[in-house]
Amino acid sequence: MTTLSHKPASARPIPNPERSLITRLNMGSGTVVGILFAVITYYLLRHHFGSPWRVNHGMDMTNTHFVNVTILCTMFAWSFGFLVGIGALIGPFRWLIGKDLTAEEQLYLAGDGQGIKRYFKYCTDHKVVGIQYLVGVMAMLGVGGTMAMMIRTNLATPGSHFIAPIIYNSLVGLHGITMIIAMIIVSTGPFGNYIMPIMIGAADMAFPRLNALSWWVLFTAIPVLCSAWFLGGIPTGWTAYAPLSDQAGPGMNAFLATIIIFAVSTAVAGMNITTTVVAMRAKGMKWNRVPIFVVGATISVALAIPAFPTFMVAMIQTGLDRTISTGFYDANVGGSGWLYANLFWIMGHPEVYVILIPGVAALMEIAPVFVRKPLFSYGAAIAGFAGIAGLSVLVWAHHMYMSGWMPSLNGPFMITTEFISVPTGLLFLVLVGTLWRGKPWMKMPMLSVYAFIWDFLIGGITGIYLSDVPADNYLHGSMFVTAHFHYTLMGAALTGAIGALAFWFPKMTGRMLNDRASYISFWLIQIGFNVLFLGMFMAGAAGQPRRVADYAQAFAHANLISTIGAYSVGLGMIVLLWAIIHSWRSGIIAPMNPWGSKTLEWTVPYPVPLVNFDEPPVVTSDPYNYGRSAK
Amino acid sequence: MATHTEFHVHHDSPEKVGRRERLGVRLLIVADGSFLFAIIFSWFYLRNLNVNNAWLPKGVKTFSTASSWWVIVPFIIVFIAHRVSMRNRSLRVPAMALSTVLLIIGAWYQWHQVCNMPFVAQDANGRPFYNGAYASNWIIFAGTNMFHYIITAFITLGLFLRGLRGNLLDPVLEEWRQRVAGSWFTWVMIGGILSAFTTSFK
């Protein structure tokens, strides 16, 4: 019989967390246990099957399959072991046995009074998780950017032997997937976690433990992805098309494991952010008073929740093909590469908007503050985001025009894709309308707004060419496509994220971002970026194929121009990194609201208290009523 | 954004927390539903494509349609047991105990099927392979069922043990968690039926 105690929590003895296991767990213990789990798994499999690195005569499985099984199991064991070692499973285990975490233990998990150590623990404070995401994203962008520099160096002149062709392929693939993952979390990770709960007047995220889980699960994927280098790389590019991915070497397993782990992290983070916004807004914050960044971030993660599992399925199917000889993508046993292409792009195109929308929304948050005008047509901005999100699930096959899959559907997919430029146009309208006749305060965040409008205009218009079946027939697989999606993802989404960082840097670090260094980095990045990718448009339009390590002499000038632009971007990123580190350590102390913004995050001091607000705020007006009386 | 403040402590009511948890679980169900959609899509796509007539090559045996349905029966019973126990509190602990046992049996039966797949063939070198796209797709449905069994058994075991202990922190929140668990039980039943329905098409 179920009996529920009505005894108040305070009447029961509370264990002292100083002596509990929770206090001893951190990133170090996670790493040790993760490695231990991985090593034990490896040796158990080796004991069972024999060494995977030698041809195993007389075994049930081929050597290749056994290598794949061993590597995948070892990687998942690492990930699981790390989560055990850092204490991620204590909460669920304690729930299972009916001994819930006490208030004192929860306070400890929130990092109360633990200083810098909390950044290396399973800390449930959303602000700590936000900083963890920020540092993680910067590291990933650094690694991905270094790979980009190597690619461009190889392409500086035709016939370059800077990188061997097979390594070039892997480099392109690893650059792609590293940057895609980094870009997916670049805005919603740091700002969605640190800033967004404060913006809506919440004390924390809806599920603090799951919030920490989403970061640490993602963290375990980073060494897994890096291990691809030591396992022969991923020669398929980031799209990992089947059956190439079925046939690729052991490094492909790192790719599969990374995506599967990342999909879990994304689902958990998406659920958490969505629930927080829907259920934890401050009193008085009706839907038409929700800051536009919050709306954009929520639509983005809500779109990711159904989108990423299809990629996960594609990866699991590839993994099964590689490990136990199923035939999802093997035509000999009834499989088809088209299945992969569909599953991949059903995720792949919404994913572009998962990346893009938070960046645009951040800039919409910035623009009214720096022109001291209300956001032009809040409703149009929402309609734009919602329209993009809705249409994004109906356009995936425009990536497959040339694959031969369902030619009769090319027309309908061309129409839906071109139609998506209507809600995208609304976003431009909102931004331009907000800037119209304003007197902008030209600080770094505002510069990003202007850069976005230019970059995304080019990215958007070139996208219309690619959505057109006859044009795509010529441009598909060329450098034109590479330039287009870099204008969209880097020119728009990364520019938005950099603007957001400059905007919220004072709230996250308590210091102002160095003006001079950030201006220098801005111009180096933006000029370099346009030189780089306008050069690439030239090469692509002239017919240079992408994902090829060498090219004909005819493309030499365009590639040299691109490489010069790339070095400028690289230099700008180094200056930006220096500005961030220097300002974080010894920048000018920031006032509580340096930009005079009207959203809630600027009403709390730095460091932001553990529960954000001493008393829950009650919202009585919209956040963009600059230059008019509150209503 | 104009604000004013009210004086009360930061402590959300169990009702609020419960609603929040229900929404969270429903969003996770959306993700799981998308996963299930993708594998159902794969099944019907490859079945209709029938590349090289290798969806189900000649002579390859399959599981019976009945076995596809038998394997999801525990999900249906768990759903019913939970609904009954929500109406009659005294039945909660036994209902969850029964559910846990049934789920373990169901998981064992699913594992038994995996260990006795009739469609695994051997090539000329004696190495096993999955003969036909039907076989490939079947294994992923079995894996999905197994995942649902593990998660659902974790929940029912937790509710059973917590019910046994009885000295739980907040009875209202505990009641909400029973309801939230019901959302998951409903979903795994629907997901199981969809899986069984799909795998009935050979």
β-bridge pairing B128-130 and B120-122: antiparallel
Identify the CA nearest to A253 among candidates A237, A233, A238.
A233
In this structure, which amino acid lies at residue A594?
Answer: P
Residue A359 placed within a domain: yes
Closest Cβ opposite residue A305 in set B8, B27, B175: B27
A61 and A208 co-located in one domain:
no
Which token pair is A452? Answer: 């976005």
Q: What is the nearest CA distance from B158 to chain A, expressed in angstroms? A: 4
Contact A309 B34 (CB under 8 A): yes
Q: Nearest by CB to B93, which of A2, A598, A621?
A: A2
| Distance between CA atoms of residues A205 and A125, nearest Å | 8
Residue A54 has pLDDT above 60, yes or no: no
The answer to whether the CB atoms of A270 and B8 lie below 8 A apart is: no
Contact at CB, B133 and A335, closer than 8 angstroms: yes
Record: contact A600-B171, CB cut-off 8 A: no
Q: Are A350 and A252 in contact (CB under 8 A)?
A: no
Q: What does the pLDDT look like over A403-461, one tens digit per residue?
A: 999 899 999 999 999 999 999 999 999 999 999 999 999 999 999 999 999 999 999 99
**Model confidence over A223-277: pLDDT tens digits?**
999 999 999 889 898 999 999 999 999 999 999 999 999 999 999 999 999 999 9
Nearest to A98 among B37, B154, B165 (CB): B165
Hey, is the C-beta of A316 within 8 angstroms of any chain B C-beta?
A: yes
Give the SS3 label for residue A212. Answer: helix
Residue type, B36: L
List Cα–Cα distances, B86 to B14, B175, B178, B191, in angstroms. Answer: 18, 9, 8, 22
Residue A397 lies in a domain: yes
Nearest-CB residue to B52 (from A98, A210, A332): A332
Out of A15-19, A163-167, A309-313, A341-345, which region has the weakest mean confidence (pLDDT)? A15-19
Of A1, A335, A346, the CB nearest to B93: A1
Nearest CA in chain A to B137: A328
Residue A99 inside a domain? The answer is yes
Q: Which of A185, A190, A257, A176 is nearest to A223 (CA)?
A: A257
Distance from CA of A366 to the nearest CA of B (A): 14
* CB proximity A243 to B under 8 Å: no
B7 near A CB under 8 A = yes
Any bridge partners for residue B193, and if so which? none
Q: Are A279 and B19 an interchain contact pair (Cβ–Cβ within 8 Å)?
A: yes
Q: Do B168 and A343 touch (CB under 8 A)?
A: no
User: Which domain does A89 fall in, by range?
Assistant: 22-117
Please state whether the peptide bond connecting residue A190 to the residue before it is cis, i.e. omega within 30 degrees of 0: no
d(CA A601, CA A595): 12
Instruction: Encode burial over A489-509: b for 16+ CB neighbours within 10 A, e otherwise.
Output: bbbbbbbbbbbbbbbbbbbbb
Are A79 and A149 in the same domain?
Answer: no
Question: Looking at the complex, does the CB of residue B168 fall below 8 Å from at least one CB of chain A?
Answer: yes
Separation CA B17–CA A347 (nearest Å) = 32
Q: Is the pLDDT of residue A573 over 50?
A: yes
Give domain status of residue A564, yes or no.
yes
Please indicate if any CB of chain A lies within 8 Å of the CB of B198: no
Q: Which residues contact B182 (CB under 8 A, 6 or more apart)?
A: B82, B83, B86
Query: Which one, of B113, B116, B171, lies nearest residue B146 by Cα?
Result: B113
Q: With residue B120 as reference, give the H or E element that holds it.
A: strand B120-122
The answer, for A279 touching chain B at a CB cutoff of 8 Å, is yes
- The contacts of residue A510 (CB under 8 Å, 6+ apart) are A589, A590, A606, A607
Q: Which two tokens stand for residue A304?
A: 């990711």
Record: contact B33-A306, CB cut-off 8 A: yes
Average pLDDT value for chain A: 91
Beta bridge partners, A437, equal: none
pLDDT number for residue A280: 94
**Does B161 contact chain A (CB < 8 Å)?**
yes
Give the mutation candidate from B1, B34, B122, B157 for the A interface (greatest A CB count, under 10 A).
B1
> Which residue, A68, A92, A117, sits at the end of a domain?
A117
- Do A228 and A136 sit in the same domain of this protein? yes
Task: Look at residue A376 and tell me whether its pLDDT is greater than 60.
Answer: yes
Residues A65 and A146 in one domain: no
A211 and A296 assigned to the same domain: yes
Q: How confident is the model at residue A174 (pLDDT cuts 50, 70, 90)?
A: very high
Domains and their CATH numbers in chain B: 28-200 (1.20.120.80)
Residue A372 lies in a domain: yes
- Region A120-131 average pLDDT: 96
Is the CA virtual torsion A498, A503, A506, A512 positive or negative?
positive
CB contacts under 8 A, A 330-349 vs B, are: 331-336, 338-339, 342-343, 346
**Residue of A546 and B170 predicted with greater confidence:** A546
Q: What integer pLDDT is reported at residue A114 of this predicted model? A: 86
pLDDT band of residue A6 (cuts 50, 70, 90) is very low
Strands B3-5 and A617-619: antiparallel
How confident is the model over A89-105, as a mean pLDDT?
A: 90
Q: Is B169 helix (H, G, I), strand (E, B) or coil?
A: coil
Q: Which of A71, A94, A117 is the last residue of a domain?
A: A117
Q: Are the CB atoms for B82 and B181 separated by under 8 Å? A: yes
Residues of B in contact with A328 (CB under 8 A): 42, 46, 133, 136-137
Q: Span A66-81, mean pLDDT?
A: 94
Task: Count the Cβ atoms, other than its own, within 10 Å of residue A470.
Answer: 11
Q: Are residues A80 and A177 in the same domain?
A: no
Q: For residue A312, give Cα distances in angstroms to A270, A316, A346, B32, B38.
A: 15, 6, 11, 11, 9
CA A212 to chain centre: 16
Contacts of B7 in chain A (CB under 8 A): 615
Please indicate, yes or no, whether residues A522 and A483 belong to a single structural domain of this protein: yes
Write the secondary structure of A12-33 as one string of H (helix), E (strand) and C (coil). Answer: CCCCCHHHCHHHHCCHHHHHHH
**With pLDDT > 90 as the criterion, what percentage of chain A qualifies?**
83
Q: Taking 90 as the threshold, does the pLDDT of residue A58 lie above it?
A: no
Tell me the chain A residues in contact with residue B49 when contact means C-beta distances shorter than 8 Å: 336, 338-339
Give the pLDDT score at A225: 95
In a domain, A432, yes or no: yes
pLDDT in tens, A264-314: 999 999 999 999 999 999 999 999 999 999 999 999 999 999 999 999 999
Mean pLDDT of residues grouped by 10 in chain B (202 residues)?
Answer: 45 87 96 97 96 89 90 96 91 94 96 87 73 92 96 96 79 88 97 96 90
Burial label, B42 (beta-carbon count in 10 A; 0-12, 13-18, 19+):
buried
- On whether both A150 and A59 belong to a single domain, the answer is no
Between positions 75 and 134 of B, the ones with CB within 8 A of A are 89-90, 92-93, 126-134
Q: What angle do CA A151, A156, A160 make, to 5 degrees?
A: 85
Q: How many Cα atoms within 13 Å fall on the side-chain side of residue A419?
A: 14
The DSSP secondary structure of A495-538, one letter per residue, reads HHHHHHHHHHHHHHHSBPPPHHHHHHHHHHHHHHHHHHHHHHHH
Identify whether residues A182 and A224 lie together within a single domain.
yes
Nearest-CB residue to B136 (from A95, A291, A326) = A326
Cα–Cα dist A531/A565, whole Å: 5
What is the structure's pLDDT at A2? 31
Contact assignment for B46 to A339 by CB distance below 8 Å: yes
What band does A66 get if pLDDT is binned at 50, 70 and 90? confident
Give how far A503 is from chain B: nearest CA, Å: 17
Please list every residue in chain A whose beta carbon sits closer than 8 Å to the beta carbon of residue B38. Answer: 309-310, 312-314, 343, 346
| Minimal C-alpha gap between A222 and chain B (Å) | 23
Residues of chain A in contact with residue B126, where contact means CB-CB under 8 angstroms, are 60
CATH number at residue A212: 1.20.210.10
Structural domain tally of chain A? 2
- Taking CA atoms, A464 is separated from A116, A418, A580, B144, in Å, by 48, 6, 36, 39
**Number of other CB atoms surrounding residue A53 within 10 Å:** 12
Q: Is A104 found in the same domain as A139?
A: no
Name every chain A residue with its beta carbon within 8 A of the beta carbon of B169. Answer: 9, 100
Q: How many CB atoms lie within 10 A of CB A615?
A: 12
> In this structure, are residues B172 and B14 in contact, taking their beta carbons and an 8 Å threshold?
yes
Does residue A413 fall inside a structural domain?
Answer: yes
* Shortest Cα–Cα distance, B76 to chain A (Å): 23
Verify that A366 and A453 share a domain, yes or no: yes
Token readout for A70 is: 């061993």
Which among A3, A335, A600 has the least Cβ separation from residue B3? A600
In a domain, A272, yes or no: yes
Are A445 and A502 contacting, i.e. CB atoms less than 8 angstroms apart? yes
- Residues A205, A341: one domain? yes
pLDDT confidence of residue A579: 97
